[in-house]
Structure 1
Amino acid sequence: MEHSFWRSRWQNDQLGFHLSFVHPILKRNLPAYALPPRARIFLPLCGKTLDIGWLLGQGYRVIGAELSELAVSQLFDELDVTPEFSAWVGGQCWCHGKLMVFQGDIFRLTAEDLGPVDMVYDRAALVALPPAMRPAYAEQILALAGTAPQLLITFEYDPAEKDGPPFPVLPEEVERLYGERHAITELSRKDVLQDSLNFREAGVTRFVEVSWRLTPKRAS
């Protein structure tokens, strides 16, 4: 999707994807990853999610990637911290303490920029992209994070009832995108329609939230 689409969503406060609470899937499943203290967790297309503040409070280091400068500015404002800035080839890097956010084009980010990654938490990135962009996105995540484990959240609904984003991503696509290098386990599946007025108003009759654990396969 065009960069202007997402910038417009932030400028017009069209933030139906932004939750006003820490995601329960993250809180419920993170302990099972048994991450070391001060582990580095990568959040692609992070927006200003409250999950970041929660992760920081657990002692983790958080690295985000986000296109919208407005989103990153609001994130740091809401955390009530003042960032330091540095340039990178795709945009501007915002840093404070254990938080680093690469604001700009995620497809220009490199593993050298990002540094080591202990886990990827993809709450709303893969589902934000149309089908044609998802293979390139998945390849970029693998290039950035290698075989780091992932916690991935996807959605399933009838695409005839609603235009994304978020877009539906079915289990076979998760397997196709990530199955070569990760073992994929479904963690939870829930129809969250009654929790989401936006989708009820859009006429969707079923909106299923699915969480996945992606575990790196051992080299044979």
Structure 2
Amino acid sequence: MQADFWHERWAKGEIGFHEQDINPLLIAHFPTLSLRKGQRVFVPLCGKTHDISWLLAQGYNVVGAELSEQATIALFESLHIQAEVTAKDGFLLYQAANIDIFVGDIFSLTQALIGQVDGVYDRAALVALPLTMRIRYSQHLINVTDGATQLLICFDYEQSSMQGPPFSVTAAEVTRHYADKYKIESLYSESLAGGLKGRVAALQQVWRLTPG
């Protein structure tokens, strides 16, 4: 999953991972993180997700990381927000009231650059990466957010039956990545109606990761 792969997907409009509506699992389970209005939520590999509009509407501040500038432009267009764009430490930073999106390689983000993070919403980041990158990503995410609480959404399916992304991330793998830092709680685990991409039986799972 090199950068060119994702740039090509956005250029060709091959973005089946982009949901047309706000994710109902976000609406149902994000309040369990008990964040206050005004606190800052990090959305890694955010694309142009409509979930950000929901987070903003709830009164949260949002910081995101996205490789594709095309996706970021589309995000601000969908929000009907005019962004101020500046170059910052190797990133393009798209900013407006209550929202900051860093355009560039997420692995180049630092805690100092991203600033305060009170919670993480990971719907499409961990599952977008192959295993070797998931190992690196999960530890990097802990570092740049200083171990902030997370809502994590994953798919669990027979990986040999379909090539990712999204990749299968089992409960055991979630434990391997995060148990040293977090208390891991399953909030939801149900069969995905119609299967993943309409052809592969899969569980959709929601995890709450609480520091400590």
TM range (shorter): over 0.9
Aligned ranges for residues 22-171 of structure 1 at < 5 Å?
A: 22-171=22-171
Looking at structure 2, the residues matched to 90 and 16 of structure 1 have their Cα atoms a distance apart, in angstroms, of: 28
Q: Which amino acid aligns with 2:130?
A: P
Of 199, 208, 213, 2:208 maps to: 213
1:88-130, CA deviations, whole angstroms, 9 ceiling, x for partnerless residues? 2232000010010000000011101111111000000000000
Residues 7, 68 of structure 2: 8 Å contact kept: yes
- Give the alignment's TM-score, normalised by structure 1: 0.94
**C-alpha RMSD of the superposition:** 1.1
Q: Which amino acid aligns with 1:146?
A: D
Percent of aligned positions that are identical: 42
SS of the residue aligned with 1:41?
Answer: strand
Report the Cα offset of residue 195 of structure 1: 6.7
Q: How many residues align?
A: 212
- Give the alignment's TM-score, normalised by structure 2: 0.97
Looking at structure 1, the residues matched to 40 and 13 of structure 2 have their Cα atoms a distance apart, in angstroms, of: 30
Looking at structure 2, the residues matched to 50 and 127 of structure 1 have their Cα atoms a distance apart, in angstroms, of: 18
1:55-94, CA deviations, whole angstroms, 9 ceiling, x for partnerless residues? 1111110000000010000001111111001112232000
Looking at structure 1, the residues matched to 20 and 9 of structure 2 have their Cα atoms a distance apart, in angstroms, of: 17
- What stretches of structure 2 of length at least 5 have no aligned partner? none
Report the Cα offset of residue 10 of structure 1: 0.6
**2:176 match:** 176
Residues 89, 108 of structure 1: 8 Å contact kept: no
Report the Cα offset of residue 158 of structure 1: 1.1
Residues 33, 151 of structure 2: 8 Å contact kept: no
- What stretches of structure 1 of length at least 5 have no aligned partner? none
SS of the residue aligned with 1:160?
Answer: helix
4+ runs of 1 displaced by more than 4 Å? none
Residues 67, 104 of structure 1: 8 Å contact kept: yes
1:15-66, CA deviations, whole angstroms, 9 ceiling, x for partnerless residues? 1111111111111112222212201000000000000011111111000000
Q: Which amino acid aligns with 1:114?
A: I
Q: Which amino acid aligns with 1:144?
A: V
Residues 127, 168 of structure 2: 8 Å contact kept: yes
Looking at structure 1, the residues matched to 5 and 188 of structure 2 have their Cα atoms a distance apart, in angstroms, of: 31
